[in-house]
Amino acid sequence: MEDLTTLTAAAAGRMIAARTLSPVDLVEAFLARIEAVDAQVKSYLLVMADSARAAARQAEQEIAAGRWRGPLHGIPYAVKDNYFTKGVRTCGASRLLLDHVPDFNATAIERLTHAGAILLGKLNTWEYGTGTGAVHFDLPFEPACNPWNLGHFTGGSSTGAGASVAARTAMFALGSDTGGSVRLPAAACGLQGIKPSFGLVSRYGILPNCWSLDAAGPLCWTAEDCALVLDAIAGHDPADPTCVDRPPVAHARGIGAGVQGTVIGVVREIDMNGVGADPAVAAGVSHVAETLQSLGARIVDVALPSPLSAYRRVTSLINWTESLSIHERDFVERGDQMGQALRDKMMSGFTVRAVDYVAALRLRRELAETMDRLMQSVDALLLPCAFHTAPPYADPAAVVAFTGHTATSVFNATGHPAISLCSGFDAAGLPLSAQLAGNWFDEATLLRITHAYEQATPWRAARPEIPAQGAMS
Amino acid sequence: MTKPTWTNAEIAAFAAANAVTWLTPAHAERFAERANEAAAAGRAVPRMTSRFVEPAHVFQMGPTRR
């Protein structure tokens, strides 16, 4: 019998719509998978088995009665534990919030519930969904492990979101991205993870990290799954003052239209303070470009308008300052109970001068405008995402470097949408990644390009094998 | 312009003046490192030559939230 956890959300959705797959069976398959592997992967902080089973039974009854809600009806998913869940602990992996039970759901969860998706539980994360890149092993929960090699880092901060979809303990996951926290776990774990345009998806009910930069987005096995999730969660929400009021876009429609004539600007020369992408990562980006060119895309070489360090400096200052503003009381009163990474970040914000913060906001506008002029000359930009593959936890400097040597914060600064896509595997079998960025609110083009690349390459056929418990060295 | 540099004692005093009372010496040392990093980052942001370049505000009127 087919292992139901290997299906994509789109495929499972089609089977559920055709009544050849039971949502109850699908949810049970995922709960069994969680039981089998999650003691090793540690993707979940909390599994909501009872409510998931009840929702699956309800979905089955509704569909049997002819009330099919759409392609996510009956699809099991999970959320990073900074998404508020009504009546269910939302602790952000922090000992400061271990008793925190919200009385409302995040808007994105409400919308997925409306679409019929089934919440399996709350996923591991860096504390409060943020950090410095370092992992100090000082939180109340152990860090999530990379399903491609359990001794390796998952990328952060949406650690459990990356681990769960790769380990098949969730069909898709929601994360949040302030400087790369959706795209970097996707990169480390071999997934597709999209940070939507700033303002496309409501952040209401997600523990804020940095108002100016936070974005909510899905981590999925395929671009088509990302499109289906975006279709469900995008759209105006008056509860989030940054959420734009635009006509809805059907991201999944037209995803198979191919890339003939699509203009893709490739950024080949790129470094973060002198450190460039590993040769295997750079080769992966080139492979993406060559593959898309063979499919009819027009590839042009371009350069970023500013060095990566300029975007990083601006986003760091904004992030440190706003994050301290959000969590000031927690830091002042109980900073000693925070893990070191969160405490370090709060300390960084504590002495930022107001004039430096405003200078960063002013430069941000200029960075966004110059990037947009480049973006308008192409349909998408192709560049590295993470410059390295997922490092071993045993190498703390490499763990920090995995987050530091990236080209992700660029698009948090500029607000453009960006997707991390799997571009193959290195000699050790760890996933490689590339990044596509697009014009504001043109997520559909990024998903169409990613889908075309998936169809032309074998990478989506490979799933990580997780050794039986006790078999780890 | 002289480079501002926080010492452990200075940052501990500044923190105490702003109600942070839980600092250990190790915390203060870390705090000073982070404060100096933040100061350096702030100094490194180029200033706009035009007074008309406004910050990229995100504020927008909306309903009162919880």
Do the Cβ atoms of A182 and A157 come closer than 8 Å?
no
Do the Cβ atoms of A76 and A9 come closer than 8 Å?
no
Chain A contacts of B63, Cβ < 8 Å? 238-239
Mean pLDDT score, B42-63? 80
Residue count of chain A: 473
Instruction: Decide if pLDDT at A397 tops 60.
Output: yes
Instruction: Decide if pLDDT at B66 tops 60.
Output: no
Q: What per-residue confidence (pLDDT) applies to A303?
A: 98
Tell me, yes or no, whether B24 lies in a domain: yes
Tell me, yes or no, whether B1 lies in a domain: no
Does the beta carbon of A278 lie under 8 angstroms from any beta carbon of chain B?
A: no
Q: Residue A110 phi/psi, 5° resolution? A: -55, -40
Number of domains in chain B: 1
**Which residue of A202, A213, A347 to mutate against B (max B Cβ within 10 Å)?**
A347
3-state secondary structure A354-382: HHHHHHHHHHHHHHHHHHHHHHCCCCEEE
Instruction: Decide if pLDDT at A4 tops 90.
Output: yes
Do the Cβ atoms of A460 and A450 come closer than 8 Å?
no
Q: Does the CA dihedral A112-A113-A114-A116 come out positive or negative?
A: positive
Q: Do A359 and B48 touch (CB under 8 A)?
A: yes
Tell me, yes or no, whether B57 lies in a domain: no
Chain A contacts of B23, Cβ < 8 Å? 336
Confidence of residue A167 (pLDDT cuts 50, 70, 90): very high
Report the percent of chain A where pLDDT is more than 90.
98
If you search the block for the tokens 């999209």, which residue do you land on? A194
Tell me, yes or no, whether B18 lies in a domain: yes
Specify the amino acid at residue A226: C
Mean pLDDT score, A228-232? 98
Helix axes B25-44, A340-350, angle to 10 degrees: 50
Nearest CA in chain A to B14: A351
Chain B contacts of A340, Cβ < 8 Å? 30
Instruction: Decide if pLDDT at A86 tops 90.
Output: yes
Specify the amino acid at residue B13: A
Mean pLDDT score, A205-223? 97
Q: What per-residue confidence (pLDDT) applies to A1?
A: 67
Instruction: Decide if pLDDT at A2 tops 90.
Output: no
Confidence of residue B57 (pLDDT cuts 50, 70, 90): confident
If you search the block for the tokens 């830091």, which residue do you land on? A331
Q: Residue A266 phi/psi, 5° resolution? A: -105, 130
| Domain that includes residue B30, residue range | 8-46
Instruction: Decide if pLDDT at A473 tops 70.
Output: no
Q: Using CB atoms, which residue from B14, B30, B47 is nearest to A359?
A: B47
Confidence of residue B5 (pLDDT cuts 50, 70, 90): confident
Q: Using CB atoms, which residue from B20, B41, B56 is nearest to A316?
A: B41
**Structure-block tokens of residue A402:** 């995995």
Tell me, yes or no, whether B19 lies in a domain: yes
Distance from CA of A349 to the nearest CA of B (A): 7
Q: What per-residue confidence (pLDDT) applies to B1?
A: 46
Which of A103-107, B47-51, B52-56 has the lowest average pLDDT?
B52-56
Chain A contacts of B18, Cβ < 8 Å? 332, 350
Does the beta carbon of A311 lie under 8 angstroms from any beta carbon of chain B?
A: no
Q: Do B60 and A242 touch (CB under 8 A)?
A: yes
Confidence of residue A467 (pLDDT cuts 50, 70, 90): confident
Q: What per-residue confidence (pLDDT) applies to B58?
A: 66
Tell me, yes or no, whether B65 lies in a domain: no
CA–CA separation, A96 vs A338, rounded Å? 7
Does the beta carbon of A372 lie under 8 angstroms from any beta carbon of chain B?
A: no
Q: Do A242 and B58 touch (CB under 8 A)?
A: yes
Instruction: Decide if pLDDT at A432 tops 50.
Output: yes
Tell me, yes or no, whether B66 lies in a domain: no
Local structure of residue B50 (DSSP, 8 states): S
Question: How many other CB atoms are there within 10 angstroms of residue A250's CB atom?
Answer: 12
End-to-end CA distance of chain B: 44
Q: Do A365 and B6 touch (CB under 8 A)?
A: no
Confidence of residue B54 (pLDDT cuts 50, 70, 90): confident
Q: Do B60 and A314 touch (CB under 8 A)?
A: no
Q: What per-residue confidence (pLDDT) applies to B4?
A: 63
Q: What per-residue confidence (pLDDT) applies to B65?
A: 52
pLDDT per residue over A257-294, tens digit each?
999 999 999 999 999 999 999 999 999 999 999 999 99
CA–CA separation, A374 vs A334, rounded Å? 45
Number of inter-chain CB pairs under 8 A, A vs B: 108
CA–CA separation, A431 vs A187, rounded Å? 7
A34: Cβ contacts below 8 Å, ≥ 6 apart:
A44, A47, A120, A121, A169
| In chain B, residues 5-64 whose CB comes closer than 8 Å to chain A | 6, 11, 14-15, 18-20, 22-24, 27, 30-31, 34-35, 37-39, 41-48, 53-63
CA–CA separation, A466 vs A36, rounded Å? 10
User: Of A160, A126, A96, A120, which is closest to residue A28 (Cα–Cα)?
Assistant: A120
Chain B contacts of A338, Cβ < 8 Å? none
Instruction: Decide if pLDDT at B62 tops 60.
Output: no
User: Of A126, A115, A71, A55, which is closest to residue A341 (Cα–Cα)?
Assistant: A126
Beta-strand relationship, A418-425 and A192-195: antiparallel
Mean pLDDT score, A234-255? 94
Do the Cβ atoms of A110 and A204 come closer than 8 Å?
no
Inter-CA distances, A393 with A129, A152, A357, A390, Å: 19, 5, 33, 9
Nearest CA in chain A to B43: A356
Q: What per-residue confidence (pLDDT) applies to A265?
A: 98
User: Of A400, A401, A408, A463, which is closest to residue A434 (Cα–Cα)?
Assistant: A408
Report the percent of chain A where pLDDT is more than 70.
99
pLDDT per residue over A414-428, tens digit each?
999 999 999 999 999
Local structure of residue B19 (DSSP, 8 states): T
Q: What per-residue confidence (pLDDT) applies to A469?
A: 75
Mean pLDDT score, A85-101? 98
Chain A contacts of B43, Cβ < 8 Å? 356
Tell me, yes or no, whether B29 lies in a domain: yes
